[in-house]
Amino acid sequence: MNVQCAFDVCVAELRATGMRDLIVFCQDCRCSHNGKLTADYVDRWPDDVRLSELEPWFVCKACGKRGAIFRGCREETMMAVGR
């Protein structure tokens, strides 16, 4: 799985990869504000919800636009799983 691409996976599939932290980017490329979603936050999502369903619910704190793009937080994930 190429986690650099936007994923369309459900939360259960995300957890199965060991990916728990996510970086969320503003959908507007001119803004490109981003922030981290911690594992604590992601853990509260139900297993059967798809990331593509959650993305439209995020509102950018910088420009106020609705819609986000999730990316896997790979380096931290690698540290966490020790690979």
Alpha carbon separation from 8 to 1, 39, 82 (Å, rounded): 11, 18, 26
- The interface mask with Zn ion, positions 13-52, x = CB under 5 A, is -------------x-x--x-x-------------------
Q: How far is the CB of 32 from Zn ion (least distance, A)?
A: 7
39 contacts 21 by C-beta, under 8 angstroms: yes
d(CA 56, CA 33): 15
Q: How far is the CB of 34 from Zn ion (least distance, A)?
A: 9
Q: Which residues bind to Zn ion, rule: CB under 5 A? A: 26, 28, 31, 33, 60, 62-63
